[in-house]
């Protein structure tokens, strides 16, 4: 492993799974938490929502303790859709098909991070593919951020911008599909290779159309009232847009060596509320377009040789997915997966959501706050067997 080692806490906290606590530079054994069930006072009630309900895209259950209007406490039960994916002993090609489907909406981030870990384990030079990988991850970020902002419009009952954003998401999806032959990047990524026709990537319209929607939302007093000063959370243990919305300039595009971005300027806000997360997500759409345009000029279309020096080894990688740091650890023995571990940004984002929603919010704020974190259960609730 070039950039990671097993050891104690070192650097900022990235997240945990059942086995590991991962920090900026180290992988530590998991310290189990003491999960106490929340208790209600006599004047309070439990409000149970999900796992399947209108308004929820994925299966997840919330148990809210409320005296009537405010949210005093909450548990998030994400285990309902837990998938057990048979991947141990798979060869890398077969494992890749499964990794693509850990979080299909963020398939590029998951797949690229997995491949970077595999390339680290097998000592494969990947510098020829990394510009293309940056382009696909930034395209994914644009779609993902549009989705989060669409969710905020939906929560506010703003159907016109909601539908306009859905329209833009489909436009971005078609650019992805024309470039990579698949609307979710499936089968586009291989070891030291990205298959795609990058000439189809033109983003000027997306920039212009999103800019109009963004300015329209900023001018809307009703929308601003709904998202300002709710869901406030500022916590040193945070990740992605939620961290950057609260003054923590964490970004794996800057502080990870796995996939190096040059000259990236972090956009950050201070207040840590839903509005700040909206601002970070919006401004990162503009910066992602700029990153893509810069990288399109640097693409190297030479056929990449894959020289595999080792057949066994351990590797790890961390990159900035649209919701924050995503981390993969892969242990490979004779080209087969011996151990695979993922730290999803949704782990920390759920912790942040719980803190944010308990911080002086009422039940009607619930969807604004939940949607502002862009949490995906699919990549959190996965067992590799």
Partner 1 sequence: MMWFLKGIKKRIKTENLNDKYKIKYPSVLEGKSDYNCPTGAIENNKWVKEKCIFCEKCDLKPTYKQDMYNINNNIPDIFKKSFYLYPIDSGTCGACNTEFNTIFSPQYDINRFKIFLSNTPRHADALVIMGVYTENMDKVIENAYDAMPEPKLLIGLGACSVSGGIIGEKISKKFDIEILGCPPSPYTIINAILKARGNVK
Cα atoms in the Cβ-side hemisphere of radius 13 Å centred on 314: 9
Tokens 């990047």 correspond to what residue? 185
Beta carbon of residue 295, minimum distance to ligand SF4 (angstroms, whole number): 27
CA distance 197 to 178: 8
By CB under 6 A, residue 9 contacts ligand SF4: no
Beta carbon of residue 94, minimum distance to ligand SF4 (angstroms, whole number): 11
Q: Which of 101, 336, 338, 354 binds ligand SF4 (CB under 6 A)?
A: 101
Tokens 């590029």 correspond to what residue? 108
Count of residues touching ligand SF4 (by CB under 6 A): 2
Residues 11-70 that bind partner 1 (CB under 8 A): 51-55, 57-59
Beta carbon of residue 182, minimum distance to ligand SF4 (angstroms, whole number): 10
Residue nearest to ligand SF4 (CB): 101
* Neighbour count for residue 14 (Cβ, 10 Å): 27
Of 260, 257, 259, 238, the residue nearest 249 (C-alpha):
238
By CB under 8 A, residue 313 contacts partner 1: no
By CB under 6 A, residue 336 contacts ligand SF4: no
Residues 104-133 that bind ligand SF4 (CB under 6 A): 104
Of 230, 26, 191, 14, the residue nearest 99 (C-alpha):
191
By CB under 8 A, residue 327 contacts partner 1: no
Residues 182-211 that bind partner 1 (CB under 8 A): 182-184, 186-187
DSSP class per residue in 230-274 = SS----SS--HHHHHTTT----HHHH-SSSPPSSPPPP--SS-SH
By CB under 6 A, residue 182 contacts ligand SF4: no
CA distance 33 to 250: 25
Residues 125-184 that bind partner 1 (CB under 8 A): 147, 158, 160-161, 163-164, 166-167, 169-170, 173-174, 177-178, 181-184
The entry of partner 1, ligand SF4, none that residue 23 binds, CB within 5 to 8 Å by partner kind: none
Comparing CB distances to ligand SF4, the nearer of 87 and 156 is: 87
CA distance 194 to 119: 14
Beta carbon of residue 374, minimum distance to partner 1 (angstroms, whole number): 11
Burial letters for 312-343: b for 16+ Cβ neighbours within 10 Å, e otherwise? ebbbbbbbbbbbbbbbbbbbbeeeebeebbbb
CA distance 255 to 261: 10
Q: Which of 70, 220, 228, 294 binds partner 1 (CB under 8 A)?
A: 220
Beta carbon of residue 110, minimum distance to ligand SF4 (angstroms, whole number): 12
Beta carbon of residue 323, minimum distance to ligand SF4 (angstroms, whole number): 18
Q: Which of 2, 6, 97, 310 binds partner 1 (CB under 8 A)?
A: 97
By CB under 8 A, residue 104 contacts partner 1: yes
Determine which helix (DSSP H) or strand (DSSP E) holds 127, and give its type and residue range.
none
| E-state strands within 201-358 | 313-321, 324-333, 336-343
Strand order from edge to edge, sheet including 45-49: 45-49, 61-66, 73-77
Beta carbon of residue 107, minimum distance to ligand SF4 (angstroms, whole number): 9
CA distance 110 to 71: 34
Provide the binding-site residues for partner 1, judged by CB under 8 A: 51-55, 57-59, 79-86, 94, 97-98, 101-107, 147, 158, 160-161, 163-164, 166-167, 169-170, 173-174, 177-178, 181-184, 186-187, 216, 219-220, 376, 378-379
């Amino acid at each position: 492993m070039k950039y990671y080692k097993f050891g104690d806490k070192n650097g900022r906290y990235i997240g945990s799974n059942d086995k590991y606590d991962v920090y900026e530079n180290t992988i530590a054994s998991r310290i189990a938490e003491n999960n106490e069930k929340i208790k209600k006072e006599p004047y309070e009630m439990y409000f149970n929502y999900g796992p399947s309900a209108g308004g929820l895209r994925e299966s997840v259950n919330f148990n809210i303790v409320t005296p009537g209007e405010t949210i005093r406490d909450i548990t998030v039960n994400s285990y309902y859709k837990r998938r057990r994916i048979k991947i141990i002993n798979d060869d890398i090609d077969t494992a890749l098909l499964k990794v693509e489907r850990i979080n299909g909406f963020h398939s590029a981030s998951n797949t690229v991070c997995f491949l970077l870990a595999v390339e680290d384990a097998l000592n494969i030079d990947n510098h020829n593919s990394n510009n293309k990988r940056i382009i696909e991850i930034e395209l994914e970020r644009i779609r993902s951020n549009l989705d989060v902002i669409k969710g905020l419009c939906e929560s506010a009952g703003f159907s016109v911008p909601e539908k306009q954003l859905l329209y833009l998401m489909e436009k971005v999806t078609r650019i992805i599909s024309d470039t990579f032959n698949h609307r979710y990047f499936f089968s586009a990524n291989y070891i030291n290779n990205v298959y795609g026709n990058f000439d189809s990537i033109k983003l000027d319209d997306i920039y212009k159309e999103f800019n109009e929607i963004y300015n329209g939302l900023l001018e809307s007093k009703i929308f601003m009232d709904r998202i300002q000063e709710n869901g406030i959370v500022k916590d040193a243990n945070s990740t992605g847009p939620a961290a950057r919305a609260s003054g923590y300039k964490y970004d794996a595009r800057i502080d990870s060596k796995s996939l190096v971005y040059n000259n990236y300027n972090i956009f950050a806000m201070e207040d840590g509320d839903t509005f700040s997360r909206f601002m970070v997500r919006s401004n990162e759409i503009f910066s992602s377009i700029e990153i893509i345009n810069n990288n399109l000029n640097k693409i190297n279309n030479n056929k990449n040789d894959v020289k595999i020096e080792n057949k066994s080894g351990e590797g790890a990688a961390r990159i900035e997915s649209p919701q924050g740091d995503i981390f993969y650890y892969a242990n490979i023995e004779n080209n087969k997966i011996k151990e695979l571990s993922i730290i999803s940004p949704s782990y920390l984002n759920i912790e942040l959501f719980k803190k944010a929603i308990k911080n002086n919010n009422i039940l009607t704020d619930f969807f604004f706050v939940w949607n502002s974190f862009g949490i995906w259960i699919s990549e959190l609730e996965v067992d590799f067997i």
